[in-house]
Structure 1
Amino acid sequence: MSTPQQPIATPFNAASTAAEVMAGIDLTGQLAIVTGGHSGLGLVTTQHLVAAGARVIVPARDPQRARVALAGIAGADRIDVRELDLIHPDSVSAFSRRVVGEGQPVALLINCAGVMASPLSRDVDGHESQFATNHLGHYRLTCGLWPALVAAGGARVISVSSRGHQIAGIDFDDIDFQRRPYDKWVGYGQSKTANALFAIGLDARGKDRGVRGFSLHPGQILTDLGRHLSAEEIAAFDVLDEQGNQRLDPHAGLKTVEQGAATGLWCATSPALDGKGGVYCEDCNIAAPHDAEAGRAGVARWATDAELAERLWALSEQWTGLTVPV
């Protein structure tokens, strides 16, 4: 039975912080993997997982830069930085084989790394880079880590999507912008919709084997994710005050990094989600369906459609040659 895409009772809200969500959570002896775990939301996520007792593997394109960023964290001796570039299939495969070969179950896989509104580029197979990185890279990673996730006997796979999924569904006729003009925001929205649909497809395959999938919107937070944006583009989002500092209004989606990391950590650890999965979350809760007349909150119908999730899974399987056994 699928989990309803409707809010549940929770003591947390849009203003809740990572520390509040993680209070009382004990992850001693568990292994977590956090892509993008050395910067922005990922860094805060790594900090709190380690503080809860977990051992954390942080994959990074630039391991030395990641080690510098993580060096000052309490419990840094339980952080293992390893090389991984999500857009390169061979890199993902090598990383996954090493983790699985070490034999320790993976209790949490938090797919936090990503790119946003980047100029048009393509992976080695010709796939548009935002879709290739944000979706296909994490699809490959999850499939590659599958034996370790199943071995945990209760793993969760968390896909960091975005309210940006409301920009666009997936154009299955031209995902890679081979015929239509490239629009960096449409490409981003498409990849974030893919994150949400991936969680549905994964959960359908994993729930009987103890692996549950979730996706989420963390909030609007100024991080390195916006590195491809001009000052004018950032200003247009109305996230800065007159002095150029970030405006904070968590109930409007404008959050600190600590508040932004809270929903992902809630998805990863909350007992309230035991036995649930395949849902898109925001503000430390399962999101309601999007109602355009009521504002931007909620999840678009095209990001919760099980048939579209299966279509995306079949295409991802075809493009990567990978899947998970059911």
Structure 2
Amino acid sequence: MTAEEVARGVDLAGQVALVTGGSSGLGLETVRVLAACGARICVPAIDPLVARAALRGIDGVDVWPLDLIDGVSIKTFATAFLERQSRLDILILNAGVMARPLFRDQEGHEGHFSINYLGHFRLTALLWPALIAAAKSRVVILSSRGHQICDVDLDDLDFVRRPYDKWMAYGQSKTANALFAVALDTRGRRHGVRAFSVHPGMIMTPGIRHLSRSELDAFDAVAPDGSPIIDPARDMKTVGQGAGTTVWCATAAVLDSIGGVYCENCDVALIEPSEGFGVRPYAINLERAEKLWRASARLTGLDIAIT
């Protein structure tokens, strides 16, 4: 299903949403569909001018500066947001990077872990008052089938002791995001805050810009002319189809009493993957989710208590 099909009949008038990475690819489509449902949407962006140009023509969207690799930038953004908005109904943590050569943030954290996971952990913790104030809110975190590459190495999150591998770094960050949803939902459910992780599918978006043509050919992802192959049966989707599960997790009434789950194809995924689909048990393990949460709280100085 496409995001438009998922959202048919959904009324988000009066609701506030925030979508990281909302000015390109899956995020842009998510913003477009949620705005059409009546939501007021905040899109944080490293370059607000470029983001505003991409979002031109979509009503009800505000663009604010934010760099997820920079803790100071995240705090500045969150403070400004809370001063202007008393509630946050939908938080979609969509921004991310994939399979880049080794890079680190200013604190020395490996880049995929820093942007894909730790920056979103910081942002969510700082925006927690607004999520609670909405009384009934949802957090949707973009994981990926890439979580099947590896578990989180809690003893070497930043590739200090082990050799760096860009796919292992990407896979670890996506497993971290699935575990994030588990631990966050544990903290939020009593406050009406539910969390979900999502695999959108294999989609040709700007996020693949660091992949070589040979790597894309290895995934059988592009036709000889360079155009993307669309074959949903093999998880190769359009941007509209890829955004479908995100919008489903953000809006579907059937999920009102569910949370902390990994979703794909507009459904809760099966455990123990078959032919690539489904979720690895380690990515939804509560004990590992809590260990990662405690490590993240130590690294950031931010926490949300279980009450």
Asked if TM exceeds 0.5, the reply is yes
Query: Which residue identity lines up with residue 130 of structure 1 in the other structure?
Result: H
Within the alignment, does 1:92 sit opposite 2:41 as a pair?
A: no
Q: CA deviation at 1:22?
A: 0.2
Within the alignment, does 1:263 sit opposite 2:245 as a pair?
A: yes
CA contact (8 A) 1:37 1:59 kept: yes
CA contact (8 A) 1:166 1:300 kept: yes
Partners of 1:148 and 1:210 in 2: CA distance: 12
TM-score by length of 2: 0.98
CA contact (8 A) 1:17 1:258 kept: yes
TM-score by length of 1: 0.92
Q: CA deviation at 1:189?
A: 0.2
Q: CA deviation at 1:242?
A: 3.2
Name the residue aligned to 1:107: 89
Listed one character per residue, the Cα deviations across residues 6-31 of structure 1 (whole Å, up to 9, x for unaligned) are: xxxxxxxxxx1111100000000100
Q: CA deviation at 1:173?
A: 1.4
Helix, strand or coil at the partner of 2:112: helix
Aligned counterpart for 1:206 among listed residues 188, 191, 210: 188
Partners of 1:45 and 1:178 in 2: CA distance: 36
Listed one character per residue, the Cα deviations across residues 31-55 of structure 1 (whole Å, up to 9, x for unaligned) are: 0000000000000000001000000
Listed one character per residue, the Cα deviations across residues 270-312 of structure 1 (whole Å, up to 9, x for unaligned) are: 0010011000000000000123xx3000001110100000000
Higher-RCO chain (CA-CA 8 Å, sequence separation at least 6): 1
- Matching of residues 72-221 of structure 1 within 5 Å: 72-73=57-58, 75=59, 78-221=60-203
Q: CA deviation at 1:230?
A: 1.1
Q: CA deviation at 1:243?
A: 3.1
Name the residue aligned to 2:5: 20
Within the alignment, does 1:39 sit opposite 2:19 as a pair?
A: no
Name the residue aligned to 1:313: 293
Helix, strand or coil at the partner of 2:19: strand
Query: Which residue identity lines up with residue 296 of structure 2 in the other structure?
Result: S
Partners of 2:169 and 2:85 in 1: CA distance: 37
Query: Which residue identity lines up with residue 243 of structure 1 in the other structure?
Result: D
Q: CA deviation at 1:72?
A: 2.7
Q: CA deviation at 1:232?
A: 1.2
Partners of 2:2 and 2:156 in 1: CA distance: 39
Query: Which residue identity lines up with residue 89 of structure 1 in the other structure?
Result: G
Aligned counterpart for 1:238 among listed residues 220, 245, 254: 220
Helix, strand or coil at the partner of 1:114: coil
Name the residue aligned to 1:7: none
- Percent identity reads 54
Q: Structure 2: where are the runs of 5+ without partners?
A: none
Q: CA deviation at 1:98?
A: 1.1
Q: CA deviation at 1:104?
A: 2.4
Helix, strand or coil at the partner of 2:81: helix
Q: Structure 1: where are the runs of 5+ without partners?
A: 1-15
Helix, strand or coil at the partner of 2:52: helix
Aligned residues: 306
Q: Report the CA distance shift for 1:103/1:246 in structure 2 as closer, same or farther (over 3 A).
A: closer
Listed one character per residue, the Cα deviations across residues 175-226 of structure 1 (whole Å, up to 9, x for unaligned) are: 1111111000000000000000000000000000111110010000000011
Helix, strand or coil at the partner of 1:145: helix
Aligned counterpart for 2:42 among listed residues 57, 61, 66: 57
Query: Which residue identity lines up with residue 110 of structure 2 in the other structure?
Result: E
CA contact (8 A) 1:290 1:296 kept: no
